[in-house]
Structure 1
């Protein structure tokens, strides 16, 4: 995956402002307020990535049934409302069954666990993320996802 590192920064705003130039050398910092806000925003952002990839993985059997060449499939999906960074990055990995080392199932499960924990502490439930978490656990038990969590596409060939 390529891109620019986006950093959700929390804490003392004055300290952020004095450090902003140095942070910009690493990527794109976004000051969001408190450390807790930055942490939760990062969990939410990453949970969305995981959920988006999980639906792509779940749909792989149907995608394969279309029997389209990959270029046509990608063009159609990226030009529609289905487009996303995960579709552009991880769907080709799934289509080619070629998963570079990127973001393991263990790491994805940790993020989802932490997001669910934050929600539970606030009296909220996250049924879709809970289901995705069970899928990640199943994949982990089957030895998938050593390279990238998108290998969950291989759960339902």
Structure 2
């Protein structure tokens, strides 16, 4: 799509800026930067943090890997879509940070789901657990919104479960490239893979609760 003879890079003007907002492997971003440079194109990775409501309200966060001079040119455009633009380093660093964030998201959602289900077995009401656990300091703040989705059994997609599985797969690939063991994220990846196989791929990733409740998790 980018570098083939029919790819868009060959159609870009010299010194144009390619802002890649997709969530991909950091090694892919670094490779894209080098290949774009050979073509006289400036590249930056700027994946976003946030889901559908954040996009609708223009309060996304951008994690930017770029030369500062390149970011300066497009920062106002990013600010039109988001409330936070974080310059985290050279090309590849934006996608690296996004990978860490999504790995934490995926695992935090799993942990909340698992403990709600255990709590119910211990005699607590589901409503009590949903009102209490996400507000504790041990829980990630985003779980409060996801708790309401669980309460209503409404998993209308904000961030698709199948995309979360893809991002965990990318984390596993990157960990392999870096020689870093990733046992917890890899376990989460397999659970999300099973949920996707169970037909929940196009639901919000909080539907992992529904999958675990059905007792089909590995």
TM-score normalised per structure 1: 0.87
SS where residue 129 of structure 1 aligns? helix
Distance in 2 (alpha carbons) for counterparts of 1:147 and 1:155: 11
Structure 1 runs (4+) greater than 6 angstroms displaced = none
The CA deviation string for residues 34-84 of structure 1, in whole angstroms up to 9 with x for no partner, is 1211111111111111111111122232233444363x4444324422232
Unaligned runs of 5+ in 1: none
Structure possessing the higher relative contact order (Cα contacts under 8 Å, 6 or more residues apart) = 1
Q: Is 1:6 equivalent to 2:52 in the alignment?
A: no
Q: Contact (CA 8 Å) 2:107, 2:185: kept in 1 or not?
A: yes
1:19 paired residue among 74, 92, 106? 74
SS where residue 64 of structure 2 aligns? strand
Distance in 1 (alpha carbons) for counterparts of 2:162 and 2:92: 23
Q: Is 1:76 equivalent to 2:137 in the alignment?
A: no
TM-score normalised per structure 2: 0.65
Q: Contact (CA 8 Å) 1:93, 1:99: kept in 2 or not?
A: yes
Change (3 A) 1:113 1:67: same
Distance in 2 (alpha carbons) for counterparts of 1:98 and 1:41: 30
Distance in 1 (alpha carbons) for counterparts of 2:161 and 2:135: 29
Partner of 1:86: 142
Number of residue pairs matched by the alignment = 156
Shift of 1:93: 1.3
**Larger helix share, 1 or 2:** 1
The CA deviation string for residues 86-137 of structure 1, in whole angstroms up to 9 with x for no partner, is 3211122123321121122210111001111111101001000110011011
Distance in 2 (alpha carbons) for counterparts of 1:103 and 1:79: 22
